[in-house]
Amino acid sequence: MARLDPHSYNDSTQPETETLDWRARVDFKTQRLHAEVTHTLKEASAGPLDLDTRDLEIRDVVDAAGRPLPYILSPSEPILGSRLRIELPVGLRQFTVRYRTAPHASALQWLTPSQTAGGKHPFLYSQCQAIHARSVVPLQDTPRIRIRYTASLRIPKALKAVMAASFLRREEHGVEAEEHYEMPQPVPPYLLAFAVGSLAPKELGPRSRVWAEPELLEDAAEEFSGVDDMLRAAESLFGPYDWERFDLLTMPPSFPYGGMENPRLTFLTPTLITGDKSLVNVVAHELAHSWTGNLVTNASAEHFWLNEGFTVFAERRILEVLEGPEVSALHGALGRRALDSALQHFRAHPQLTSLRTHLAGVDPDEAFSQIPYEKGYLLLRAMEDAAGRPAFDEFLRRYLATYRFRALTTEEFVAFAEKELPGVLTKVDAEAYLHRPGVPPGAPSPRSLRLEAMDALRGKVPTPEQAKDWTPAEWQLYLESLPWDLPRDVIQQLDARFSLTESRNSEVLVAWLVVALRAGWEPAVARTETFLGEVGRMKYLKPLYGVLSASHAHRSLARALFKKHGERYHPIARQGVELILSRA
């Protein structure tokens, strides 16, 4: 037996699935998918085959002729879920599992009409990264095993089903519609994704359209109108785009992430719609995953930095092409600040602060932090500085060409980098980034003129003249560098001058609310309350619930707000907030 991924029951001595055919009926009344999935193996085989499942009710397992196959569903384990062991008779290549999902399936969020912008129709979506695909489909839920698939979703006729795959056709039968999709390129299971709701499309360019609830469509299309330029900038850096289309889906506000790089259909939080395109770096980030992550994939959550560190690096290179080096340096500076606060947060778990982690017995959602993103970025920046940009660009291109449609480990990355850029890893002390806690002393520090101008301010309230050209990123940076013991009258002055409590940019707003709440400034409380009732993005829930529950005066408010709104958050976000409240 060999388990190569600590988060999967997959046994690498067993046969692998090559393709899936998944058919599901979406039942909004019972909040279940009634589904069946046919696995076709890479080769005919015999003996036990272990699949990952979580909270699935298995009806039966049958062969291609409909004859039942023996199986055992083991009791659920806390992180991995239940192992489904199927006994394959000699020569079998195909089998079907019939099952239904649980209303609390960890990958799914079922929204009532009142939780949507239109208020008339329900909404359903999936979020499978890192290990939630198993709560939707029984499969080998490890990114080492890539699958092609076809899928069909039966839904109420008034709704539209979209998938991170290529659309084939829609059929209507009575009160239901059935939408058919196909993913011809092999993808890791965490990239399986779909959404069902009242959705309409608008074209953004030859390869892109945006989907949103009709009420949000125009604003979304305006905000993301630069996507085609972005696609071309990315191709100029990383080579041809391999996924044919780059469509965007504007999610309901409870979506727990800023963005999710589902292939052909990136999912985006509606909090990016600010009216001024100031948060489109998230789109650049998800687009960059089309190369780093979706083509070249981390072998398990222990090598997550290979997905995210490379993608942050690629995101900032795209920003540099589109908006110039100053803007990308500012984002680098914001990233460094996020890294320092993540290191502080994980100070009791230094083993989780190296890039290469060891996660047996650790839930990847709990290990999640900005560290693989920003420490990974710093390692790649250090390598770029040491090798020189032309050589590093060449290295990147060879890395992408060598590992495309494959998964790799940190150890394979090291061997590849040593061969391709001899001496560079030693020169930058890559060991320290990969295997030791904290940030190595010689790490690059993003520099920019605008940054230095801001540093000179050092926590003082800027005059309207000084701040008149500040971008939201600069505001965020300024707010995040304010000292913890800021007197309340400074807070009051800042809000009176710059109306920060009314900011439409959620990054600025949350940075502001954290500062104001920390200083015990009461007018921030009401805005925090409404915000926590509207938005379910974990990046915001965590600091806001964190700062409320850290204060004596607001701890019970934090609990009350969670009690009131917790049901409206995605299961993954709910779990994250519960953890914060339980530690308070």
Q: Which amino acids are annotated as binding site for Zn(2+), given as ranges?
A: 285, 289, 308
Q: Minimal CA–CA distance to 295: which of 396, 398, 186, 392?
A: 186
Task: Report the C-alpha gap between 506 and 229 in whole angstroms.
Answer: 24
Name which of 129 and 198 has its Cβ closer to ligand BES.
129
The CA-CA-CA angle for residues 477, 374, 491, to 5°, reads: 20
Q: What is 262-321 written as a DSSP string?
A: -TTEEEE-GGG--SS-TTTHHHHHHHHTTTBTTTEEESSGGGHHHHHHHHHHHHHHHHHH
Is 55 exposed, middle or buried, given 0-12, 13-18 or 19+ CB atoms closer than 10 A? middle
Name which of 290 and 354 has its Cβ closer to Zn ion.
290
Task: Report the C-alpha gap between 366 and 408 in whole angstroms.
Answer: 22
Name which of 368 and 399 has its Cβ closer to Zn ion.
368
Name which of 181 and 368 has its Cβ closer to Zn ion.
368
Q: Of these partners, Zn ion, ligand BES, none, which one is at the site of residue 109 (CB under 5 to 8 Å by kind)? A: none
Closest residue to ligand BES in the complex (CB): 258
114-to-117, 122, 253 alpha-carbon distances in Å: 8, 8, 12
Site string for Zn ion, 289-328 (x = CB under 5 A): -------------------x--x-----------------
Reading the block at residue 518, the tokens are: 């920390």
Q: Of these partners, Zn ion, ligand BES, none, which one is at the site of residue 121 (CB under 5 to 8 Å by kind)? A: none
Reading the block at residue 121, the tokens are: 């129709």
Name which of 289 and 450 has its Cβ closer to ligand BES.
289
Task: Report the C-alpha gap between 514 and 503 in whole angstroms.
Answer: 14
Residues that bind ligand BES (CB under 6 A): 129-130, 257-261, 281-282, 285-286, 289, 308, 368, 373, 539
Number of H helices, E strands in the chain: 20, 19
* H or E element, residue 464: helix 464-467
CB of 581 to ligand BES, least distance (A): 21
Annotated binding site: 127-129, 256-261, 285, 289, 308, 537-539
CB of 242 to ligand BES, least distance (A): 17
Name which of 15 and 309 has its Cβ closer to Zn ion.
309
Coil/strand/helix, residue 127: coil
Reading the block at residue 28, the tokens are: 């909004």
Contact present, 161 and 195 (Cβ < 8 Å): yes
Q: What is 557-581 written as a DSSP string?
A: HHHHHHHHHGGGS-HHHHHHHHHHH
179-to-39, 168, 250, 370 alpha-carbon distances in Å: 20, 8, 19, 37
Name which of 138 and 189 has its Cβ closer to Zn ion.
189
Among the listed residues 213, 286, 320, 507, the single catalytic one is 286
CB of 128 to ligand BES, least distance (A): 8
Q: 480 CB contacts (<8 Å, ≥6 apart)?
A: 334, 337, 511
Reading the block at residue 421, the tokens are: 């850029």
Annotated binding site for a peptide: 127-129, 256-261, 537-539
CB of 30 to Zn ion, least distance (A): 33
Which amino acid is located at 332 in the chain?
Answer: G
Q: Of these partners, Zn ion, ligand BES, none, which one is at the site of residue 50 (CB under 5 to 8 Å by kind)? A: none
Q: Minimal CA–CA distance to 338: which of 192, 476, 160?
A: 476
End-to-end CA distance of the chain: 42
Task: Report the C-alpha gap between 255 and 270 in whole angstroms.
Answer: 8
Name which of 386 and 477 has its Cβ closer to ligand BES.
477
Is residue 176 annotated as a catalytic residue, yes or no? no
Is residue 373 annotated as a catalytic residue, yes or no? yes
Q: Specify whether the backbone of 383 is left (phi greater than 0), alpha (psi in -120 to 50) or beta.
A: alpha
Task: Report the C-alpha gap between 584 and 581 in whole angstroms.
Answer: 5
Among the listed residues 9, 125, 373, 399, the single catalytic one is 373
Q: Of these partners, Zn ion, ligand BES, none, which one is at the site of residue 259 (CB under 5 to 8 Å by kind)? A: ligand BES
**CA quadruple 544, 545, 551, 557: dihedral sign:** positive
Q: Of these partners, Zn ion, ligand BES, none, which one is at the site of residue 56 (CB under 5 to 8 Å by kind)? A: none
Q: Of these partners, Zn ion, ligand BES, none, which one is at the site of residue 328 (CB under 5 to 8 Å by kind)? A: none
Strand order in the sheet with 194-197: 108-111, 123-126, 194-197, 160-163
Name which of 284 and 515 has its Cβ closer to ligand BES.
284
Q: Which residues bind Zn ion (CB under 5 A)?
A: 308, 311
Q: Which residues are catalytic?
A: 286, 373
